Structure 1
Amino acid sequence: MPNDLNNERETQIPTNLRLLLVMEEIAKAGRPLKPMQLAEALGLPKPTIHRLLQTAEVEGFLQRDLDGRSYGPGPRLRQIAVHTMSSERLRTGRLAILKAVAEEIGETCNLATPDREGMTYLDRVETKWPLRIQLPIGTQVPFHCTASGKMYLSTLRESTLDAVLTSRPLEALTKKTITNPDELRQELSEIRARGHSQDNEEFMPSMTAVAVPVMDSTGRLLATLSAHAPDQRHSVEALAAFLPALKAAALKLSELHAA
C-alpha cells in the first residue's frame, strides 16, 4: 500500500519539476537535508530522490554536507541566488536604500551575502571622503574577522558553527584578529545578544566596521548591512552611533525582498 501511494504521488509531479522542487525544499529548509527527509517532504520514492540528488550534485547545483549524507546548496545554486538578488528591480530599490543610509551616516555602506568560503559584497555605496577603503563589489572577505562575517556566523546552528571554526586554523590578518575558536564563540554569543557585530581592525589595520542583519520573511539571515571607516575618522565605539540608521535601512531591505 505505501508503495502504491508513493507511485501515485510521483505521477502527480511532472518529471521536469522534481529536481526544482528538491532544490526548493533544501533552500527553504535553510540547512542540509537527508534523502529521507526530502522523500517525506515531497512524497517521492527514495530511489527517485537519490537519482535527483546525484544529478544535482554532479552538475554543481547541490553538494554533500560534512556528514556525507545530507545535501545543501552547491555553487551553481548559490550563484542563482546571487543573480536573483541582483535583478534590476531589486537592485534599483536596494541601491536607493543604501545611498540614503550612506548619505545619512557619511561613510561607506555594504550589502554582503554569505557564500561557502566567506562573505561576498553584493552592493556598495562609497563615502565621499577622499580617504576610503577599496573593497569593490564581488570582493569576498573572511567570516571570522569581519563585521559582516561574524554577524553571519552568529546565526549558524551550533554543529555548523563548530565545523566552520574547527575545519582549519583561523588566519590572523592583523594583530587584533581573533584566532582562538573559543574566544570567537564568546564574541558570537555577544553578537547574538546585542543584534549587531563589529570589526575593530581585525580584517585590515586601521579599519573599523559594524554590521547588522538583513532578515528574510522566515526570520533567517538573508544578508548583512555594514558600514566601515578608517579609524582616523571613527573608532569602533563611535561607529555604534550609526546603528539606528543601519537597522532602519536593514528593515527596509528586508521588506523590499519580501515584497
Structure 2
Amino acid sequence: MPDDYAHQQQGQIPTNLRLLVLLEEVAKAGVPVTPTALKDVLNLPKPTLHRLFNTAEAEGFLQKDIDGRSYGPGPRLRQLSLRTASSQRMRTVRLAILRSVADKIGETCNIATPDRDGMTYLDRVETHWPLRIQLPIGTQVPFYCTASGKMYLSSLRPAYLERYLAATTFDPRAPGTIVDKTALKAEIDATRKRGYATDDQEFMDDMAAIAVPILDDQDRLVSTLSVHAPLQRHDLTSLRQHVGDLQTAAQELSILIQS
C-alpha cells in the first residue's frame, strides 16, 4: 500500500486503484463530468479512461447524464454513499443531534438526501404526538413540492435548474403545490437567498414544513434537515420561529460529516 500511494502521489495511479479514484473524482466534482474533463486530473490514456467509465456505467456505479456525454453517480454509488453515511458510529451521533432538535421543536425532524428522482429520507425522529405524518426512512418525495426538495433545487447551478424546470411535469399534490414553472423558479430563487425552504401544503394537505441545508467541506449541499407538522399544531409562520434551531443542528451535522 505505501508503494501504491507513492506512485499515486507521482501521478501514476496503480491499476487496482484506478476505478476507485475515478469514482472519487466524479463524486468530488459535484456535477456530471465527461471523460475528457478528468483526463489531466487522472493522467491516464484516453482509451483507458473511456474503458473505466464504460465499466463503471455497466456495473451501475456511474450513469450518463441527459446530454449523453457526461457521467454522474449511478444507483450503486448512491446506495454506497447512503450506507456509508449510515455506518453505526456516525449514525449514533447523527441521531443524537436529530433527536435534540426534534425535542426542542416538538415535531418530527428528518434528514433527506438527493437522489436522481427525488429526496430520500435517510433518518428521522418522530414527534411524541399521536397525530403525526408518516414518511418512513427510505421514502422518496418529489423535489418540486417539498421543503427538502426545493432546498436541493436551490443549490443547483442555473443551467441545471433550467433543465430540470424544462423537463419536469409539476403535478398538483396538495392545495398549495406550485405548478407554474415561473412561480416555482421564483420560489427557488427566494429559497437560495434566505437559506431555508418552505412547504405550505404543497406536498400533503394540512402539512407545513421547513428545511435547511447540510453542507460538505466545500459548502455543497449533501443532505437536508427538515421539520414537518400538521397545521393543527403549526402553520408555516410558527415553524419559521425554529429556523435558527434547525440551522444550528444542521451546522453540527455538517461538522460531523466533514470530520
Q: Same fold (TM over 0.5)?
A: yes
Matches within 5 A, 1:7-26: 12-26=12-26
Does the residue aligned with 1:113 lie in a helix, a strand or coil?
A: strand
What are the equivalent positions in structure 2 for 1:47-66 lying under 5 Å apart?
47-66=47-66
The two structures, once aligned, show a CA RMSD in angstroms of: 1.5
Residue 152 of structure 1: CA displacement? 0.3
Q: What is the identity, as a one-letter code, of the residue corresponding to 1:128?
A: H
Residue 42 of structure 2 aligns with which residue? 42
Q: What CA deviation, in whole Å up to 9, does each residue of 1:31-87 have, x standing for no partner? A: 111111111111111111100001111111001111111111111101100001000
C-alpha separation in 2, matches of 1:56 and 1:233: 48
State the Cα distance separating 1:11 from its structure 2 match. 9.0
Could you give the per-residue CA deviations for residues 84-127 of structure 1, whole angstroms, max 9, x where no partner exists?
10000110000000000000110000000000010000000000
SS of equivalent residue, structure 1 residue 227: strand
Name the residue aligned to 1:186.
186
Any residues of structure 2 matched to 1:213-252 within 5 Å, and which? 213-252=213-252
TM-score normalised by structure 1 residue count? 0.95
> Are residue 164 (structure 1) and residue 161 (structure 2) matched?
no
Structure 2 partner of 1:4: none
Q: Is residue 84 from structure 1 mapped to residue 80 from structure 2 by the alignment?
A: no
SS of match in other structure, 2:199: strand
Task: Quote the Cα distance in structure 2 between the aligned partners of 1:14 and 1:41.
Answer: 15
2:194 alignment partner AA: R
Separation in 2, partners of 1:221, 1:168: 21
Residue 119 of structure 1: aligned partner: 119
Q: Percent identity?
A: 59
Aligned partner of 1:6 in structure 2 is: none
Paired residue for 1:93? Answer: 93
Give the superposition deviation at 1:168: 3.0
Which whole-Å CA distance do the structure 2 matches of 1:11 and 1:94 have between them? 37
Indicate the residue corresponding to 1:199 in structure 2: 199
Distance 1:168 1:138 in 2: 22
| Aligned match of 2:28 | 28
8 Å Cα contact 2:120-2:138 kept in structure 1: yes
CA distance in 2, matches of 1:55, 1:99: 41
Q: Which runs of 5+ in 2 are unaligned?
A: 1-8
Q: Please give the TM-score of this superposition, normalised by the length of structure 2.
A: 0.95
Name the aligned partner's letter for residue 163 of structure 1: R
CA contact (8 A) 2:145 2:177 kept: yes
Secondary structure, counterpart of 2:242 in structure 1: helix
Distance 2:29 2:102 in 1: 33
Q: d(CA) in 2 for partners of 1:17 and 1:60?
A: 18
CA shift, 1:12, in A, is 2.6
Superposed CA offset, 1:141-195 (max 9, x none): 0000000000000000112112222213111101210111111110010001000
Aligned pairs, how many? 252
SS at match of 2:121: strand
Residues 11 and 196 of structure 1: CA distance in aligned 2, closer, same or farther (over 3 Å): closer
How do residues 122-141 of structure 1 correspond to structure 2 at under 5 angstroms?
122-141=122-141
In the aligned structure 1, how far is the partner of 2:217 from the partner of 2:179? Answer: 34
Deviations 1:3-35, CA, capped at 9 Å, x for gaps:
xxxxxx999321111111111101001011111
What stretches of structure 1 move > 3 A for 4+ residues in a row?
Answer: none
Distance 1:257 1:100 in 2: 18
